[in-house]
């Protein structure tokens, strides 16, 4: 593997189509596509300032690096990425990628990040300003995760999340086969139109959660007081260890809770309209 140390590159495509290259203490100044169409690339203690540095890359490891704001849309159309101990200040990262692992990564501007990505693993990752995070992605494994940002995980499939704090309006809309363990989920309209969403030992906050859901399962969860008007038009089996402020028009299944402040059943309820609501746990 060729090693390049303590150098600076700028302009357009300075390292185009490189193979078997290790960058150490390298700075990529403003420009475009510094490492486009490369393979077998390693970068350590590098700083990326220019746009689109890693497009169409096959096999790369990034450690202890920084992507400045100008390095927007830095990693697209690529596969086999391992990134660790890295600061990503640039938005719109990780698009149409396969097989990527992020470990000890901080993304303070994660707007429109991780779209159409598959085979994704996150460990100890923190994201902020993360509006529209994880759109149309699949096969996602997340642990020790903190998120601030709305409209996340829309239309995702096959997701497992553990030990997370997710503050996100409209999270998990239209998802399929998502399981969340031991996490806090705060935000309005959680899980609408989802299929087979499973929440285990989770805290739920925000108005109108878990409506229009199909085959929703909740095990040993709790609701905050503002999580009202829950379960409208949902098929659900839920065990809630706290009280629920209000439940509205659940379609079918069973909801067990410590208490329910108000049960709203009106002419808009959809068949079979036979959901059992019990307060005897």
Average pLDDT over residues 171-193: 98
**79-117 pLDDT, tens per residue?**
999 999 999 999 999 999 999 999 999 999 999 999 999
| 115, part of any domain | no
Q: What is the pLDDT of residue 273?
A: 93
Q: CA dist 262 to 27, 37, 228, 244, Å?
A: 60, 59, 9, 8
| 212, part of any domain | yes
pLDDT above 80 (res 150)? yes
Share of the chain above pLDDT 70, in %: 100
Average pLDDT over residues 41-48: 98
Nearest to 156 by CA among 186, 193, 203: 193
| 144, part of any domain | no
| 121, part of any domain | no
Q: How far apart are CA 134 and CA 139, in angstroms?
A: 11
Q: What is the pLDDT of residue 281?
A: 54
| 55, part of any domain | no
Whole-model pTM over 0.85 = yes
Mean pLDDT, the chain, as a whole number?
96
pLDDT above 60 (res 53)? yes
Q: What is the pLDDT of residue 233?
A: 97
| 180, part of any domain | yes
pLDDT above 60 (res 1)? yes
Average pLDDT over residues 130-150: 97
Q: Is 70 helix (H, G, I), strand (E, B) or coil?
A: helix
The number of distinct structural domains making up the chain is 1
Q: Contact 213/234 with Cβ under 8 angstroms?
A: yes
Q: How far apart are CA 86 and CA 74, in angstroms?
A: 13
Q: Contact 261/247 with Cβ under 8 angstroms?
A: no
pLDDT above 80 (res 280)? no
Identify the domain containing residue 168 by its residue range.
162-281
pLDDT above 90 (res 131)? yes
């Amino acid at each position: 593997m060729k090693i390049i140390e303590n150098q600076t590159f700028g302009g357009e495509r300075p390292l185009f189509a490189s193979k078997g290259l290790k960058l150490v203490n390298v700075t990529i100044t403003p420009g475009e596509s510094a490492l486009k169409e490369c393979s077998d690339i390693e970068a350590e203690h590098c700083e990326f300032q220019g746009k689109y540095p890693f497009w169409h890359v096959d096999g790369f490891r990034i450690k202890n690096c920084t992507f400045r704001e100008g390095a927007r849309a830095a990693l697209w159309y690529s596969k086999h990425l391992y990134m660790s101990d890295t600061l990503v200040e640039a938005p719109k990262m990780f698009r149409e990628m396969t097989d990527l692992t992020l470990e000890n990564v901080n993304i303070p501007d994660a707007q429109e990040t991780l779209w159409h990505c598959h085979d994704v693993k996150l460990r100890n990752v923190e994201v902020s300003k993360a509006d529209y995070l994880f759109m149309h992605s699949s096969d996602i494994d997340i642990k020790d995760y903190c998120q601030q940002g709305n409209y996340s995980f829309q239309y995702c499939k096959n997701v497992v999340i553990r030990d997370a704090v997710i503050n996100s309006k409209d999270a998990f809309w239209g998802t399929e086969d998502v399981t969340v363990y031991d996490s806090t989920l705060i935000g309005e309209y959680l899980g609408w139109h989802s299929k087979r969403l499973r929440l285990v030992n989770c805290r739920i906050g925000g108005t109108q959660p878990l409506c229009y859901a199909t085959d929703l399962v909740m095990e040993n969860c709790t609701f905050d007081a503002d999580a009202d008007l829950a379960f409208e038009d949902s098929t659900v089996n839920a065990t809630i260890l706290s009280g629920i402020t209000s439940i509205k028009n659940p379609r079918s299944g069973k909801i067990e809770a410590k208490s329910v402040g108000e049960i709203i059943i009106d002419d808009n309820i959809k068949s079979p309209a036979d959901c059992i609501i019990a307060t005897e746990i």
